[in-house]
């Protein structure tokens, strides 16, 4: 992806009274090997839909939304601003190692839930359910804290890679068996700031 931007402007020099025309040509080079899979508009529509579903199901309740860091923070920020509910928020962080496409093996929670969960309606907010290993581990960890209800909202679902069954209550997109980045999702901590979701091509 490569785009060329051109611009022209007239500059006047007050001391000499002369003026000249400046032509600017800038070459904008996007990160290589990225192909748009889901545009920002499609993401926005889907976040709207998910918010409507959640709002309908949690009427009269005060859900506690739990995001998985770091990948879900962009999705979480957009989702909660579309929810007209008196909600609470917390985050959980897993410790990870290995390269971006390597599984981090046995999941370990590095930073757990700080808010009391007993009797709460808990909704886990995930960026992606891939093998399902970390999400199912997290759901088991949260169940032990005795919430009144426990549901899962995943922006993306990659079912072709699933190794553990995970019940997804609110699903944004089903994605192909490709590594995706953008809108919070990373590869080696990069690309989280991109507005669309891209596949990382070899």
C-alpha span between 145 and 142 (Å, rounded): 5
Segment interacting with Mg ion, rule: CB under 5 A, options 3-11, 12-20, 70-78, 162-170: 70-78
Residue 33, classified by CB atoms within 10 Å of its CB into exposed (0-12), middle (13-18) or buried (19+), is: exposed
C-alpha span between 26 and 3 (Å, rounded): 9
Q: Which is closer to ligand IMP, CB of 58 or CB of 91?
A: 91
Using CB under 6 A, which of 38, 76, 122, 128 touches ligand IMP?
Answer: 128
Written as six digits, the tokens of 186 are 């990373």
Helix (H, G, I), strand (E, B) or coil at 16: coil
Q: Determine if 184 is a binding residue for ligand IMP (CB under 6 A).
A: no
Phi/psi of residue 186, each to 5°? -125, 165
Written as six digits, the tokens of 34 are 């990225």
Strand segments (E) across the chain: 2-13, 18-29, 34-38, 64-69, 88-95, 108-111, 121-129, 149-157, 170-174, 180-181, 197-200
Q: Determine if 46 is a binding residue for ligand IMP (CB under 6 A).
A: no
Q: Name residues contacting ligand IMP, limited to 142-181 (CB under 6 A).
A: 179-181
Q: How far is the CB of 5 from Mg ion (least distance, A)?
A: 32
Q: Which is closer to ligand IMP, CB of 54 or CB of 197?
A: 197
Active site residue 90: no
Write down the catalytic residue from 78, 121, 127, 130: 130
Q: Which is closer to ligand IMP, CB of 54 or CB of 185?
A: 185
Segment interacting with Mg ion, rule: CB under 5 A, options 3-11, 53-61, 66-74, 144-152: 66-74
Q: Kindly list the residues in this chain that would bind ligand IMP in the complex (CB under 6 A).
A: 68, 71, 127-135, 179-181, 185
- Which positions are annotated as active-site residues? 130
Q: Kindly list the residues in this chain that would bind Mg ion in the complex (CB under 5 A).
A: 71
């Amino acid at each position: 992806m490569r785009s060329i931007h051109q611009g022209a402007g007239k500059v006047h020099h007050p001391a000499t009274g002369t003026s000249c025309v400046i032509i600017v040509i800038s070459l904008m080079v996007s990160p290589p090997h990225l192909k748009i899979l889901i545009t920002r508009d499609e993401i926005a529509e889907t976040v709207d839909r998910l918010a409507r579903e959640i709002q309908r199901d949690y009427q009269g309740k005060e859900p506690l939304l739990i995001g998985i860091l770091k990948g879900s923070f962009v999705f979480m920020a957009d989702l909660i601003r579309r929810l007209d509910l008196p909600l609470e928020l917390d985050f959980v962080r897993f410790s990870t190692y290995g390269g971006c496409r390597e599984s981090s093996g046995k999941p370990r929670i590095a930073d757990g839930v700080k808010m009391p969960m007993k009797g709460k309606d808990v909704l886990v907010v995930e960026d992606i359910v891939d093998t399902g290993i970390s999400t199912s581990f997290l759901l088991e960890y949260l169940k032990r804290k005795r919430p009144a209800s426990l549901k899962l909202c995943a922006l993306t679902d990659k079912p072709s890679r699933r190794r553990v069954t995970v019940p997804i209550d609110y699903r944004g997109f089903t994605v192909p068996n490709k590594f995706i980045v953008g809108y919070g999702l990373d590869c080696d901590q990069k690309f989280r700031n991109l507005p669309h979701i891209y596949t990382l091509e070899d």
